[in-house]
Amino acid sequence: MRTKNYTIYFLLLSVLLLLLFFVNLSLGSVAIPLKDIFSAMFGEGSTKESWNVIIINFRLPKAISAILVGSGLSICGLLMQTLFRNPLAGPFVLGISSGASLGVAFLILGTSFLGGVFTLSTISSWTLPIAASLGAFLVLTAVIIAANRVRNIMSILIIGLMFGSLTSALISVLAYFSEAKQIQQYVFWSFGSLGNLSWTEISVFATIYVFSILSCLSIIKPLNSFLLGENYAKSLGINIKRNRNIILLITSVLAGVITAFSGPIAFIGLAVPHVTKLLFSSSNHKILIPAVALLGGITLLICDAIAQLPSSEFTLPINAITSLFGAPVVIWLLLRKKKIFI
């Protein structure tokens, strides 16, 4: 009976994801009939050539980005909450997002220190993701080295938080010596964005995403065992150090590439795993991993639809929407439930 219920849940969530995907494609400052959207997607071409460009080059990549980012952040949050056995752990608790932000800050805000080597005009569609990836990689390397030198898992959590504080301090120093135009550009990047990716960037993003998901599915047994503590996991023959590094690596790579391409997006990775556990009443990662992926994609598609202000030419920061509309929903759900599967 339980398996049957899960199947129904997955079918309903998949249908909802598909519906929201097409709703997202239909929203924007230019009203495009649903018939023309389908025609453009399946190669037949819409009534107007400009509609083809809008759908194929802008709206379709944005909708795909929303699904990848939402599901990716949700999976990262689930992995961190499982590893640290802490309901407040999220995808950016290791300082990876802060490292990516530091890389972008050096590029945008560091021109005063670099003597004009970089200017705002040199920033292209690939420059920011590369800078963010380098920053995230440096923090990832430091976290992995620290993880192999300490035994207590909570020490890794504290080290990650300290890396985040350190990078935030460096960004503040860079901002203090920067011009208003540079600070404004960095602030706009920190708002998060789903609509700036080309098809080439989507391909790179999707490749890393698929690799990370497959890696998660290969460690379902260790993930389930970590829920009951490392001593229990050892009794099952789980290699604690090896699997801990795998979890840290998956989370860091996935969270790093998401931040690199879309900026730091809050709330999703922290809240969606809790909503999923409340909905499915399960702590089995064989169920939770695909479930949080679906719910994460659905949540960010909804937030993006709200951010676009249907029939308006303005687009609100996605970061503001995810927190403003998501946090109250999670608080309400948690207040209704007495038990949370952690």
In a domain, 169, yes or no: yes
In a domain, 341, yes or no: no
Phi, psi of 137 (to 5 degrees): -65, -40
d(CA 146, CA 140): 10
In a domain, 42, yes or no: yes
In a domain, 96, yes or no: yes
State the CATH number of the domain containing residue 128: 1.10.3470.10
d(CA 61, CA 200): 10
Q: Where are the alpha helices (DSSP H) in 115-198?
A: 127-147, 153-176, 180-190
Return the closest-CA partner of residue 107 out of 118, 115, 95, 96. Answer: 118
What pLDDT score was predicted for residue 117?
46
d(CA 224, CA 286): 9
In a domain, 152, yes or no: yes
The gap between the terminal CA atoms of the chain, to the nearest Å, is 23
Return the closest-CA partner of residue 69 out of 301, 330, 335. Answer: 301
Question: Which CA distances in Å does 315 have to 73, 189, 282, 288?
Answer: 22, 14, 37, 32
DSSP code of 93?
T
Residue range(s) defining the domain that contains residue 154: 2-336
Q: Check if the beta carbon of residue 102 is closer than 8 Å to that of residue 274.
A: no
List, for the chain, all residue ranges whose pLDDT scores fall below the cut of 70.
1-4, 43-47, 111-125, 310-313, 330, 333-334, 336-342
In a domain, 342, yes or no: no
Phi-psi domain of 43 (left: phi exceeds 0; alpha: psi -120 through 50; beta: other): left
Nearest 10 degrees: Cα torsion 253, 72, 193, 257: 10
Q: Check if the beta carbon of residue 223 is closer than 8 Å to that of residue 293.
A: no
Give the pair of three-digit tokens for residue 28. 């924007």
What pLDDT score was predicted for residue 167?
87
d(CA 337, CA 342): 13
Single pTM value for the model:
0.88
What pLDDT score was predicted for residue 15?
96
Q: How many domains does the chain have?
A: 1
**What H or E segment, with its residue span, contains residue 251?**
helix 240-262
In a domain, 240, yes or no: yes
Beta strands in the chain (DSSP E): none
Give the pair of three-digit tokens for residue 168. 């935030």
In a domain, 272, yes or no: yes
What pLDDT score was predicted for residue 341?
43
What pLDDT score was predicted for residue 337?
58
